[in-house]
């Protein structure tokens, strides 16, 4: 006897009809009938009298109905208490969380008002923001990265531009190609960074760059401002005074994603990803 069997039995007892109970449970009638038969076998008692007009409860059925309702209510209360004590840790990278503004947070709080949400901001060394290390439950980040064991849903794809000082000779151009920046100093990501991630922000190239090492988006922008090096950023982001972003026509778009460990997609993680994916918070691709 398990909670599912008791839930099936309560539905039949209240509907007094297998067909209506099956509709209520969003299932077909044959497996419902088999489940009730198995419950009667397990308990060694006939619970329902079946007829062409429906079903009625036997004395044993009446006794079980009261107990089953109590057990199901207690189980629901326990589930609510566990959910209320739950914690969800969200990893973010650079501007990823800000892309949704306050609406994603409001939507999640509305669905899960008692969940303790914690935020962990990662740096460029680990684009999963601690997901692979088990430090976060779900991540708002940017691909590409090594996705072994990680599931991801694309929220948006943003075109990318070269971040330049406003007085740079190329700053007035309407667009650029990567080859036009080949002889310039670029920012570099720290040693040990995810190889796919590093290659992407290296201008979709495995060739090493000569420039300052940066660990955050802020450091990257400051390297451009102070050293005149080349930075990359998704278009449309606010930049400090003195910087501009020129579209790169041959740079693959930057994919904003929600990511989670494939083997650890619990109810809260599934709920968060569904809200993020379906809420329209991140705009179109």
Tell me, what's the pLDDT at 98? Answer: 64
Considering the domain architecture, whether residues 199 and 267 belong to the same structural domain is answered as no
Instruction: Kindly compute the dihedral angle of the four CA atoms of residues 161, 167, 173, 177, in this order, to the nearest 10 degrees.
Output: -50
Please say whether the beta carbons of 139 and 258 come within 8 A: yes
pLDDT in tens, 36-74: 999 889 888 898 998 888 889 999 989 998 888 888 888
Please say whether the beta carbons of 247 and 235 come within 8 A: yes
Considering the domain architecture, whether residues 226 and 95 belong to the same structural domain is answered as no
Considering the domain architecture, whether residues 175 and 196 belong to the same structural domain is answered as yes
Tell me, what's the pLDDT at 252? Answer: 94
Q: Say what percent of the chain tops pLDDT 90.
A: 40
- The structure's pTM equals 0.66
Q: What is the domain-level CATH number for residue 93?
A: 3.40.190.10
Q: Is the pLDDT of residue 199 over 70?
A: yes
282: pLDDT confidence band, cut at 50, 70 and 90? low
Report the number of distinct structural domains present in the chain: 3
Q: Which domain holds residue 120?
A: 87-156+255-278
pLDDT in tens, 103-141: 888 889 998 888 889 999 988 999 999 998 889 999 999
285: pLDDT confidence band, cut at 50, 70 and 90? very low
Considering the domain architecture, whether residues 150 and 268 belong to the same structural domain is answered as yes
Please say whether the beta carbons of 149 and 261 come within 8 A: yes
Residue with tokens 């947070």: 105
pLDDT in tens, 66-90: 888 888 888 877 776 665 558 899 9
Q: Is the pLDDT of residue 177 over 90?
A: yes
Identify whether 283 is part of a domain: no
Residue with tokens 């038969």: 37
Buried b (16+ CB within 10 A) or exposed e, 148-172: eebbbeebbbbbbbbbbbeebeebe
Measured CA to CA, the distance from residue 211 to residue 261 in angstroms comes to 34
End position of a domain, from candidates 84, 101, 124: 84
pLDDT in tens, 219-269: 999 999 998 898 899 997 788 999 999 999 999 999 999 999 998 888 889
Identify whether 285 is part of a domain: no
Considering the domain architecture, whether residues 132 and 271 belong to the same structural domain is answered as yes
Considering the domain architecture, whether residues 183 and 244 belong to the same structural domain is answered as yes
């Amino acid at each position: 006897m398990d909670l599912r069997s008791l839930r099936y039995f309560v539905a039949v007892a209240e509907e007094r009809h297998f067909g209506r109970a099956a509709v209520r449970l969003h299932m077909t009638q044959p497996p419902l009938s088999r489940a009730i038969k198995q419950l009667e076998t397990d308990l060694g008692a006939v619970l329902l009298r079946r007829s062409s007009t429906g079903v009625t409860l036997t004395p044993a059925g009446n006794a079980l109905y009261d107990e089953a309702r109590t057990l199901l209510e207690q189980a629901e209360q326990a589930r609510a208490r566990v959910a209320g004590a739950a914690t969800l840790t969200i990893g973010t990278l650079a501007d990823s969380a800000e892309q949704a503004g306050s609406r994603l947070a409001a939507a999640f709080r509305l669905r899960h008002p008692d969940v303790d949400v914690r935020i962990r901001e990662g740096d460029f060394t680990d684009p999963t923001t601690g997901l692979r290390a088990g430090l976060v439950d779900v991540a708002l980040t940017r691909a590409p990265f090594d996705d072994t064991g990680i599931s991801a849903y694309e929220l948006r794809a943003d075109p990318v531009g070269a971040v330049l000082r406003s007085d740079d000779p190329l700053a007035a151009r309407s667009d650029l190609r990567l080859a036009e920046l080949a002889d310039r100093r670029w920012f570099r990501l720290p040693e040990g960074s995810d190889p796919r991630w590093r290659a992407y922000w290296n201008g979709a190239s495995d060739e090493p760059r000569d420039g300052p090492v940066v660990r955050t988006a802020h450091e990257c922008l400051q390297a451009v401002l102070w050293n005149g090096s080349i930075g990359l950023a998704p278009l449309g982001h606010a930049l400090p005074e003195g910087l501009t972003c020129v579209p790169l026509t041959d740079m693959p778009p930057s994919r904003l994603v929600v990511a989670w460990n494939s083997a650890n997609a619990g109810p809260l993680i599934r709920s968060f990803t569904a809200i993020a994916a379906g809420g329209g918070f991140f705009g179109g691709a």
